[in-house]
Structure 1
Amino acid sequence: MTAVDEARKRLGRIGVGLMTPIAPAGEWRRAARRVEEMGYGSIWVNEAIGGREVFTQLSVLAAATERIVLGSAVANLWARHPATMQGAASVLADAYPGRFALGVGVSMGMLVEQSGQKWTSPLDRTREYFDGMDAAVDAAPVPEVPFPRLLAALGPKMQGLARDRADGALPAMMPVEHTRTARERLGPDKLLVVGQSAILATDPEQARGIARRTQLLEMPGSPYLRSLRSLGYDDAALAAGGSDEVIDACFNWGDETAIRTRIQEHLDAGADHVSVMVFAPDLASSADQLDHLAPALL
């Protein structure tokens, strides 16, 4: 069975993204166990350069849980040598068969420059990085169950690279039409995991305020802006944190039924799996919101 087949079987349809700031390990363990008990299929964690190193974090969560799939969304390729990326992923997949998915991402120029590194072409950098990972396969453990390698790919060139050099793509925070286009570019045999928000607020002003505080569309050089332009949104719609139309397209808000409907639209558009992210000040609050959503989503 291929890594894509295994992942589709084990992930199920709905997982969660725990994208919160630094917290003690005990809080992470408790949150992960709660999410697993709720019945979600996966937990995805992110990474900057420094701080909460993603493979160490995933190993903590794997040891604290029993069956849930754990994924990097994403492991920042500027944070480590490609052979280290391949080795770390292989060790986790070997230690926890069928419970690991590798999402790799190229980050953004501003963040890379802040780390003291020189930003280069994202496409070329990722292609060369995959070359380095592939060259390191023979030196790494061979997991009993193969793990999928996914690429955080928003635009057509990156999605083409995800199709040709990875097991699929891992876009996030984009409208339903982006998911549909991504599936068309990837074809039916690749894995498409989509990160989506869930804002439990029925007042439009409150919900959109929460969405705008993420500053998704205000970061210099944001790939989200480029992708939204390719979907037909103009500069006026994308200015000042995004128009109401843009916010409503990129963020899922409302009651449980409204959020479930929006998540289902992404599955209907071709996503294999949706990772649901809530915006909360701490892990316990995130788990509370996910628990509240579980009956509707699962």
Structure 2
Amino acid sequence: MGEDAVVEARRRLGRIGVGLMTPLAPAEEWRRAARRVEDAGYGSIWVNEAIGGREVFTQLGVMLAATERIVLGSAIANLWARHPAAMQGAASVLADAYPGRFALGVGVSMGAIVEQSGQTWSSPLARMRGYLEAMDAAVEAAPKPEVPFPRLLAALGPKMQALAGERADGMLPAMMPVEHTRRARELLGPDKLLIALQPVILETDPGKARAIARQAGAFSIPGSPYIGALKKLGFSDADLADGGSDELIDACFVRGDEAAVAKGVEAYLDAGADHVCVSVFQPDLASSADQFERLAPYLLND
């Protein structure tokens, strides 16, 4: 963690990466998808985690071993899934084994997911602060990577964003409007990483695209951190009801043909993001890779 990690990450990540957020699939399918994304020219692949099921560090290890240059990141590694010393140790092992190719995103998840795992939800800000302190205390016992890895926080609200600026190398907010990215960059300043995790929908019919977006259900989960963040941006309870108003959906999801998607993603870079991780709504890894290959000539055309 530190200035060197930020500089190195910016150099290696480039402008655009992808999120592979598909549920359980055989390891060989993950290897094939990762190689296709790398061959298409993207700078990164990010994988998410709940609690149980697909363990994120093991998953990233499989994909790092199957690829040659692309950066692999956790978006996010759930802090409720492991002890902070285990988080520090796992990240350090991967960063040591694959110099410059690993990025750690840490998040507090949601109360409903945590309670379902049999744990007791508590203040996310206090939990994150204490967790980061415990990770720092475990640094000396962990491997020492040749290239430092960046530590990023899944931060939507201003208090978690401030903590990201204080105790991390930056942040990776997900599924937020462009205005959120602009405000986040103002808060972070120029010396921290800002990675926007942005879902895109290759669909030119607005009604069909919005229906796909509403299936994500992110705005209807009780206690969802997205709700509070969007209200701070001026959206109302009415906007958040029934899966999200048209205005809300259009603000949080990039849609259209390849050129329109590229223009929408570019807006996040113009607003201050260092890197945009795009994800697609597809039922399996192969069809996700198909869409990333379709988008590559548009998204990666500097």
**What TM-score do you get using the length of structure 1 for normalisation?**
0.99
Q: Which 5+ residue runs of structure 2 have no aligned equivalent?
A: none
SS at match of 1:2: helix
- What is the distance in 1 between the residues matched to 2:281 and 2:238? 26
Structure 1 residue 237 displacement after superposition? 1.2
Match of 2:109 among 107, 110, 118: 107
Q: Which residue of 2 aligns with 1:11?
A: 13
Structure 1 residue 169 displacement after superposition? 0.4
The one-letter amino acid paired with 1:130 is: L
The one-letter amino acid paired with 1:66 is: E
Q: Percentage identity across aligned positions?
A: 75
Pairwise CA RMSD? 0.6
Q: Which residue of 2 aligns with 1:49?
A: 51
Structure 1 residue 100 displacement after superposition? 0.2
Q: Which residue of 2 aligns with 1:157?
A: 159
2:247 is equivalent to residue 245 of structure 1? yes
The one-letter amino acid paired with 1:154 is: L
Q: Which residue of 1 aligns with 2:199?
A: 197
**What TM-score do you get using the length of structure 2 for normalisation?**
0.98
Q: Which residue of 2 aligns with 1:214?
A: 216
- What is the distance in 2 between the residues matched to 1:289 and 1:241? 25
- What is the distance in 2 between the residues matched to 1:234 and 1:116? 32
> Runs ≥4 in structure 1, deviation > 3 angstroms?
none
Structure 1 residue 280 displacement after superposition? 0.3
- What is the distance in 1 between the residues matched to 2:238 and 2:59? 40
2:45 is equivalent to residue 33 of structure 1? no
Q: Which residue of 1 aligns with 2:88?
A: 86
- What is the distance in 1 between the residues matched to 2:240 and 2:156? 17
The one-letter amino acid paired with 1:80 is: R
Query: Aligned pairs, how many?
Result: 298
Structure 1 residue 277 displacement after superposition? 0.1
- What is the distance in 2 between the residues matched to 1:101 and 1:259? 25
Q: Which 5+ residue runs of structure 1 have no aligned equivalent?
A: none
Residues 178-189 of structure 1 mapped to structure 2, 5 A cutoff: 178-189=180-191
Structure 1 residue 115 displacement after superposition? 0.2
The one-letter amino acid paired with 1:281 is: P
The one-letter amino acid paired with 1:276 is: V
Residues 57-136 of structure 1 mapped to structure 2, 5 A cutoff: 57-136=59-138
Deviations 1:48-102 (A, max 9, x none): 1000000000000000000000000000000000000000000000000000000
SS at match of 2:60: helix
